Structure 1
Amino acid sequence: MKKNVLLTLTALSISAFGFTLESSGIENGYIKEKYGKYGAQNLNGMPSLSLPLNWKNSPKNTKSYAFVMEDFDAIPVTGFSWIHWIAIIPGTTTELKENSSLENEDIIQGVNSWISSMGGLNKNDASHFGGPAPPDKDHTYNFTIYALDKNIKLQPGFYLNELYNEMDGHILDKVTLKAKYKK
């Protein structure tokens, strides 16, 4: 029983106010292989099939969402946390379908860490989902969605620090979902 409850909580994250984030792309606490380095879809060597995500119980007055997928387990390997996906999502949206990063024109995406010298992609290619590819061990990935009280106006290819500056003082709530990907 304990194990089932823990696995359910890993695949479904809930904030203090009931704001939830979940993904059918995660099973038993692990991101399905097709969404990372073992998947068939890639963009110039970067895994590019984004996971499906959905969220519920957003705070009242949510005007937009900001989404960040980050790998803190990359710090010992790269010297920094690896950004896999950042996006600005319209406030009327409650889900991103599988492959939204390449197919959904309503989201504005910033650059991921595949733009770094370790990834070697150009800004255009790195402005999408860059799936998990842990080099040393299983890594844990943090998927965080922020409900915002304003519409964020950034251009495609924005940087994470620009997003955080725009969000400052405008976060109504946030929720983080965590899952691992196998080395």
Structure 2
Amino acid sequence: MKKLELISKGIENGYILEKYGVHGTEKLNGMPSLSLPLEWKNAPEGTKSYALVMIDHDAIPVTGFTWIHWTAIIPRDLNKLEENASLENKDIIQGVNSWISSMGGLSKADASHFGGPAPPDKEHDYTFTLYALDKELDLENGFYLNELYKAMEGHILDEATIIGKYKNIK
């Protein structure tokens, strides 16, 4: 049986392209907002939906917590998210990212999208994990990551992870 696989044309040679982060031109109230394109294949039989989580553990020394960049629930019939899907694809349900925190200062509505890389100190690793789920999740836009993890518990059929680095300076 083939394992779920996740890829992105927005990551080249291990690095997230600059346009998807703080060095890009697309911003939502100062937050980098152009989401990366993602594709996946080999979904396990019985997959009813997907969940996507993008986090930055390298933010812990700076912020005191893992920075959440993007959480989304994706319908089963999709096998990719196009560039800028966070703002353009109305079929995905998105959770709150860490830009809602006091360090980001965005409203819940604005923070319920992709919030691109903006490492303040050095190069960071950004982890994208796609989960294939055996049910559709009953969450609404603006959900929190802990709510997503609770809803997924016992329903993960497979998962795939990719990591992209982003530089803090040009």
Give the AA of the match of 1:127.
S
Gap regions ≥5 residues in structure 2: none
1:164 counterpart residue number: 149
Per the alignment, in what secondary structure is the counterpart of residue 106 of structure 1?
coil
Distance in structure 1 (CA, Å) of the matches to 2:20 and 2:26: 8
TM-score (norm 1): 0.91
1:83 counterpart residue number: 68
Aligned pairs (5 A) from 1:21-170:
21-170=6-155
Q: Deviations over 1:6-52 (max 9, x none)?
A: xxxxxxxxxx9421000000111000000000000000000000000
Size of the aligned set, in residue pairs, is: 168
**Percent identity between the aligned chains?**
70
Give the CA deviation at 1:92: 1.1
TM-score (norm 2): 0.98
Distance in structure 2 (CA, Å) of the matches to 1:85 and 1:135: 18
Distance in structure 1 (CA, Å) of the matches to 2:54 and 2:31: 15
Give the AA of the match of 1:20.
E
Displacement over 4 Å in runs of 4+: none
The answer to whether residue 167 in structure 2 is matched with residue 182 in structure 1 is: yes
Gap regions ≥5 residues in structure 1: 1-15
The alignment yields a C-alpha RMSD, in angstroms, of 0.8
